[in-house]
Structure 1
Amino acid sequence: MSSSEKTAFCATCLLGVEGLLSEELRDLGCEDVRAENGRVRFAGGWEILARACLNSRYAERAGIFLGEFPARSFEELFQGVKALPWEDFLGKQDAFPVAGSSLSSALHSVPDCQAIVKKAVVERLKSRYRLSWFPEDGPQHRIRFRILKDRVSLTMDACGAGLHKRGYRPASNAAPLKETLAAALVKLMRLRPDGTLYDPFCGSGTLLIEGAMLAMNIAPGLGRSFTAEDWSQGDPAVWRQERERARDLERREGGFTGTGYDLDPAAVELTLENARRAGVHGVLRASVRDIRDFREESPFGCVVCNPPYGQRILDQEAARALYREMGRVFSPKRGWSYGVITPEEDFESLFGRKADKRRKLYNGMIRCQFYSYFKWKESEARKI
């Protein structure tokens, strides 16, 4: 694939984030952007793939989209995979491990599907390269398959480690929020470049750090590498140029500030340590404080938080008491907004007010709602 050739790509994401990812990819210059369930397809040249890997805040993975076809039997799976042009992307030495998933499909055994996909790719390469054995000691080209409702799609992963691995959080607290989800939450709250962000349950600082990176337009992938950088089809100059492009677009003087609180001194120190690794420590601060002592200390502010809850750290009754306290201290005030992610179905009743907007999201495997409060005059008339 040359840098100017248009190629089909695919980025996966958490359920509920497809819209944000689509908008982001369009802003990055991607073409033919199409949102699907848990992923977004797009197209462009090699520079577009590099740009997506380096800059996407919401994608879990990105890679080359190889093809899609129906399959209800192992034979259909084998023939469908074998028909794809693997030789266009895999050399004689390249490693090509296989991973995947299956949901609501006749082919439900993932290990068996992995073996069939691997065998089909090998058979295709044998016929093209006239070889009987492949050493697989070259650059890695991980093949990922998804079987959803008997429809198979295959991609070649360009990332290596998932894109949520920014590199600033080698350690975390007991219940960390995924970086990609944290980035989505601060985006949904329309955090401004000159905004003031608060997280009264800062934990390892993920929400604050992602908020700072969003406000200052710092590309989340600048501190890491990607497996596609080693592919023979790629041009190292393209990756260098895209890194330079990302750095040129940073805006570190916008006036953003972030403040975190936590009951645990170790969590506060972890927040500050991770902020240093991310290069945003100059705009963040954190201290030990109980939620009962939360105060609006600036003319305007945006609170985004992932409070402890029964499935995570606290027992159910303690979590419910915490939500009542949050409703008391997060008082209606002009210029302030609040966003809370939680699986608690009775959150609005406990908090004391209906949310101005709700959005279904997943924190890992836990189905949650993201409750947003920003229309205080209207919400006062809608108290429960």
Structure 2
Amino acid sequence: MKQVTLTATTAFGLEAVVGRELAQLGYPEQQKADGRVNFHADLSAIPRCNLHLRVANRLLLKIGEFPAPDFDAYFDGIRDLPWEEWIPADARFPVTGSSQKSQLHSVPACQGMAKKAIAQRLERVYDRTLPETGILCPVHFDLRHDTCSLYLNTSGDGLHKRGYREQAGEAPLRETLAAALLQLSVWNRERPLIDPFCGSGTIAIEAALIARNRASGLLRGFASEKWPAIPAELWLQHRSEAIAGINHGDCEPILASDIDPRVLRTARDNAKRAGVDDIIHFQQQDVASLSTKRKYGCLVTNPPYGQRLNDVQQAQELWTTLARVTQDWSTWSQFILVGSREFERFYGRKATRRRKLYNGTLECTYYQFLGDKPPAMDRTEPRPVS
């Protein structure tokens, strides 16, 4: 089977999490850089990774790399790559890209030139004009330090678009980040989970998908699913294997609450579309009423942190309330993502560890408060990724 070079892109700070996911999928040999994890594999990795990666943003197929100190080198380098191996004569191939610390810093200019270079190559190979009415083959260039890397985007839409969320709350947490928060915690399906600020339910739903071993991409399609260069039977095989791997057994409770009944309705609808509404208990509840008799669970949440002064003050009051109602939960571990460096002051305790993450473009801190370990903790229990 054809060997390829692939790149799983990710938010800054989550490279190790994506690396661990790839290793679990059978790709332990990796090269990590800021916002990306590179690896070599055969074609089967394209359906497998698109279906199963929970934290990566997209999966890119590398077409080539070359020095690009000026527009002539850039144009010639792109034109000389074997695009016809992947892009059919009638395919649509929009171009996106980025430039960092390179002489060619105008992304729009580079987009236009890349499009022209690829078209020139394909028109010569196919001996025809390009109608661009067929399947989608998105092209992406990455200019760094005057070196250009060219890719095809095998995912199409970002992998955070799972297919279950038609509506979101006012400040939605991306599905990929929610999955990362869970994987950076000590939670597993053998421990209860609580999200007291669940909003549209993303953390709880992602937890339920993990508990069920349900592939995150089962409800959606991918750009490369229609590419002739990737046998359709590969996609059918990996979709069938993903469905067969779903675990319908019992797991510890997943509890999601919010004070707003409107977002709870949205959360329930999202969970139903995701196929996990039967294992999430949604409840309308003020955080001041939060309680549990269970032990050794995990609280994973993204509470309000506000941008305007009044919102900030209200958020700080919520943090203080959460600290008060959980102060005796010594067996529980708490993992809280907040866009404030003052959180610990209002929470009244110091985190076991902190991690800088990004919710979109907003820099946040993931505060991790580790509770007591279960008396007979399984040696395989996950620990936070370092």
TM-score interval for Structure 1 and Structure 2 normalised by the shorter chain? over 0.9
Q: TM-score scaled by structure 1? A: 0.92
Q: TM-score scaled by structure 2? A: 0.92
Q: Give runs of aligned pairs for residues 45-124 of structure 1, distance below 5 A.
A: 45-124=42-121
Choose the corresponding residue for 2:333, options 330, 337, 340: 337
For the residues of structure 2 that align with 1:312 and 1:33, how far apart are their CA atoms? 42
For the residues of structure 1 that align with 2:161 and 2:18, how far apart are their CA atoms? 17
Deviations 1:29-64 (A, max 9, x none): 236422211111122222111000111101111131
- Equivalent residue for 2:252? 256
For the residues of structure 1 that align with 2:132 and 2:36, how far apart are their CA atoms? 29
Give the letter for the 1:369 counterpart.
T
Paired residues of 1:340 and 1:371 also in contact (CA < 8 A): yes
- Equivalent residue for 2:354? 358
For the residues of structure 2 that align with 1:241 and 1:374, how far apart are their CA atoms? 40
Choose the corresponding residue for 2:36, options 15, 34, 39: 39
Deviates more, 1:251-260 or 1:354-363: 251-260
Give the letter for the 2:54 counterpart.
R
Are 1:162 and 2:170 an aligned pair?
A: no
Q: Give runs of aligned pairs for residues 11-26 of structure 1, distance below 5 A.
A: 11-26=8-23
Are 1:305 and 2:307 an aligned pair?
A: no
Aligned residues: 373
Please tell me the root mean square deviation across aligned C-alpha atoms, in Å.
Answer: 1.8
Deviations 1:111-152 (A, max 9, x none): 111001111112222333334x21122211010112234332
For the residues of structure 1 that align with 2:345 and 2:7, how far apart are their CA atoms? 40
State the 1:82 CA deviation.
1.8
State the 1:244 CA deviation.
1.3
Q: What is the percent sequence identity of the aligned residues?
A: 39
Choose the corresponding residue for 2:273, options 267, 270, 277: 277
Deviates more, 1:271-280 or 1:247-256: 247-256
For the residues of structure 2 that align with 1:107 and 1:325, how far apart are their CA atoms? 52
For the residues of structure 2 that align with 1:227 and 1:313, how far apart are their CA atoms? 43
Deviates more, 1:99-108 or 1:49-58: 99-108
Choose the corresponding residue for 1:188, options 184, 190, 197: 184
For the residues of structure 2 that align with 1:122 and 1:31, how far apart are their CA atoms? 36
Paired residues of 1:65 and 1:155 also in contact (CA < 8 A): yes
Paired residues of 1:195 and 1:215 also in contact (CA < 8 A): no
Q: Secondary structure at the match of 1:126?
A: helix
For the residues of structure 2 that align with 1:47 and 1:59, how far apart are their CA atoms? 17
Paired residues of 2:139 and 2:150 also in contact (CA < 8 A): yes
For the residues of structure 2 that align with 1:82 and 1:234, how far apart are their CA atoms? 23
Q: Give runs of aligned pairs for residues 123-272 of structure 1, distance below 5 A.
A: 123-131=120-128, 133-272=129-268
State the 1:366 CA deviation.
0.1
Paired residues of 2:320 and 2:347 also in contact (CA < 8 A): yes
Deviations 1:75-132 (A, max 9, x none): 222122123221221222222111122233332222111001111112222333334x
Paired residues of 2:331 and 2:372 also in contact (CA < 8 A): no
Give the letter for the 2:48 counterpart.
R
State the 1:235 CA deviation.
1.4
For the residues of structure 2 that align with 1:348 and 1:105, how far apart are their CA atoms? 40
For the residues of structure 2 that align with 1:308 and 1:316, how far apart are their CA atoms? 8
Give the letter for the 1:118 counterpart.
K
State the 1:376 CA deviation.
5.8
Deviations 1:236-264 (A, max 9, x none): 11111101111222222141321111110
- Uncovered stretches (5+) of structure 1, i.e. residues with no partner: 378-384
Paired residues of 1:205 and 1:272 also in contact (CA < 8 A): yes
Give the letter for the 2:40 counterpart.
A
- Equivalent residue for 2:378? none
Q: Secondary structure at the match of 1:327?
A: helix
For the residues of structure 1 that align with 2:2 and 2:367, how far apart are their CA atoms? 43
State the 1:183 CA deviation.
0.3
State the 1:313 CA deviation.
10
For the residues of structure 2 that align with 1:228 and 1:40, how far apart are their CA atoms? 19
Paired residues of 2:62 and 2:152 also in contact (CA < 8 A): yes
Q: Secondary structure at the match of 2:177?
A: helix
- Uncovered stretches (5+) of structure 2, i.e. residues with no partner: 374-386
Paired residues of 2:351 and 2:368 also in contact (CA < 8 A): yes
Check 1:332–1:104 CA distance in 2 against 1; reply closer, same or farther (3 A cut): farther
Q: Secondary structure at the match of 2:87?
A: coil
Check 1:32–1:86 CA distance in 2 against 1; reply closer, same or farther (3 A cut): farther
Deviations 1:319-344 (A, max 9, x none): 22222222222224343111110121
For the residues of structure 2 that align with 1:257 and 1:313, how far apart are their CA atoms? 36
